Amino acid sequence: MADSLVVARDLAREFAVDAVERDRRGGTPKRERDRLRQSGLLRLMIPTALGGLGAGWPETLHVVRILASADSSIAHVFGFQHLMVATTRLFGTEAQWTRAWTETARGDLFWGNALNPLDERVRSRSVDGGRIFSGGKSFCSGARDSDRLIVSARQEGEARLLIAAIPTARAGVVIRDDWDNMGQRQTDSGSVDFEDVRVEEDELLLSPGPLSTPFSALRPCIAQLTLANVFLGVGQGALAAAAQYTRAQPKPWIASTAASATADPYVLHHYGELSLGLQAAELLAERAAEALQAAWTTGEALTAEARGAVALAVAATKAQATRAALDVTQRLFDVTGARATKAQAGFDRYWRNVRTLTLHDPVDYKLRELGDAYLNGALPTPSFYS
């Protein structure tokens, strides 16, 4: 097993201890974020030549699953760390991403997200040698307590969304503590206000820029696959927790013909169906991660067809992981029973987390893409969600 997986498992065990309590509290998991910094995993996919651990996407996303099985908020911001790091590679110049990666590896920098392309309130205007960003941005996961930010803005007359990588400490960046949601409560997915923030020209990721080439259009694939691995990890963690609970049951339901809850025919059938759904999702996730890795390695030579194949593998993973994770987190109660609803057990957090995160974009439209590919041979049109 790769060292990273061992480290991830240790961290997962550690994070699990007070995951229920932290879910209730919400806010920034500062201690846990610092443990991630110390673990070295923030530089997991950065090449060893630049000071990283040199992992590929299959390993990186496996770590995401492991963390998600214990704490999906932390898994989310951890997964997005790599999405942000990858963004510099996909949208920026070699000089830009080499510098970003080297600094990240050296300082174990944590990246946050302030890119949300659907919220276009941040406006840019040109000034000498740079731009000024002003306005608010919502759903900025992991922005609090971050060292670097990927930010976006609209500038009049420019068709493409402007995307930049800047230090979080930059003057004018105001990160609100306003995330209070039913799930993913420690992701700090609240808002960031840009109060006349100066962005240097060489902080803008313009070449090739967002979604401009098949290769740069891998970003949404990475985003979607990261989230799908979080769903899947939650499902895996939830079913494992349920099994532990069932095994500790003193007796089966009074009408059962079985001698124990663990031998009840309906309980076994549920576990069979739920574990099967997770197995299928995991195989799809692994296939997609391998396809992504091959595309990532191909670099700018990536064709639209090959990028489309990755997007479809990711869409399939997302659809199955959504279904399996919702199914597990809803039905786990059918195999644990009424007492498993006590707040202290915290079993509802699995569902709240999955349900929140699976709404990032509608799974119906992923299924539509899969159908369009099957029926019409159509490739998904690259967008920030496809």
Please list, residue by residue across 136-149, b when 16 or more beta carbons sit within 10 angstroms of its beta carbon and e when fewer do: bbbbbbbbbbbbbb
Q: Does residue 350 touch a copy of itself according to CB under 8 A?
A: no
Name the residue nearer to a copy of itself (CB basis): 41 or 363: 363
Which residues, 262 to 321, sit near a copy of itself by CB under 8 A? 262, 265-276, 279-281, 283-284, 287, 316, 319-320
Distance CA 257, CA 278 (A): 28
Name the residue nearer to a copy of itself (CB basis): 88 or 187: 187
Region from 2-10, 144-152, 291-299, 361-369 binding a copy of itself, contact rule CB under 8 A: 361-369
Distance CA 38, CA 61 (A): 19
Name the residue nearer to a copy of itself (CB basis): 102 or 138: 138
Q: Does residue 375 touch a copy of itself according to CB under 8 A?
A: yes
Residue reference for tokens 């995951």: 19
Exactly one of 2, 243, 294, 309 binds a copy of itself (CB under 8 A); which one?
243
Q: Find the shortest distance in angstroms from Cβ 12 to a copy of itself.
A: 19
Residue reference for tokens 């929140």: 356
Residue reference for tokens 């902080």: 203
Distance CA 288, CA 277 (A): 17
Q: Does residue 360 touch a copy of itself according to CB under 8 A?
A: yes
Distance CA 63, CA 83 (A): 14
With contact defined as beta carbons under 8 Å apart, do 193 and 183 qualify? no
Q: Contact letters (x/-) for a copy of itself, 67-106, by CB under 8 A?
A: ----------------------------------------
Which residues, 108 to 127, sit near a copy of itself by CB under 8 A? 118
Q: Output the furthest CA–CA distance in the chain (Å, rounded).
A: 79
Q: Which residues pair with 150 in a beta bridge?
A: 113, 165
Distance CA 229, CA 251 (A): 35
Residues that contact a copy of itself, how many (by CB under 8 A)? 78
Region from 104-112, 126-134, 205-213, 247-255 binding a copy of itself, contact rule CB under 8 A: 247-255
C-alpha closest to that of 70 among 142, 18, 112, 1: 18
Region from 89-97, 101-109, 222-230, 364-372 binding a copy of itself, contact rule CB under 8 A: 364-372
Residue reference for tokens 């919502």: 138
Q: Find the shortest distance in angstroms from Cβ 167 to a copy of itself.
A: 28
Q: Find the shortest distance in angstroms from Cβ 67 to a copy of itself.
A: 21
Q: Contact letters (x/-) for a copy of itself, 166-185, by CB under 8 A?
A: --------------xxxx--
Contacts of 318 by beta carbon, 8 Å cutoff, 6+ apart = 224, 225, 227, 228, 231, 363, 366
- DSSP states along 308-333: HHHHHHHHHHHHHHHHHHHHHHHHGG
Q: Find the shortest distance in angstroms from Cβ 280 to a copy of itself.
A: 4
Exactly one of 84, 306, 363, 379 binds a copy of itself (CB under 8 A); which one?
363
Angle at 232 between CA 230 and CA 238, to 5 degrees: 100
Region from 43-51, 53-61, 106-114, 256-264 binding a copy of itself, contact rule CB under 8 A: 256-264
Q: Does residue 341 touch a copy of itself according to CB under 8 A?
A: yes
Region from 80-88, 94-102, 250-258, 290-298 binding a copy of itself, contact rule CB under 8 A: 250-258
Region from 58-66, 150-158, 227-235, 347-355 binding a copy of itself, contact rule CB under 8 A: 347-355
State which amino acid sits at residue 69.
S
Tokens of 221: 């694939």
Q: Does residue 257 touch a copy of itself according to CB under 8 A?
A: yes
Q: Find the shortest distance in angstroms from Cβ 241 to a copy of itself.
A: 12
User: Is residue 339 exposed (0-12), middle (13-18) or buried (19+ Cβ within 10 Å)?
Assistant: exposed
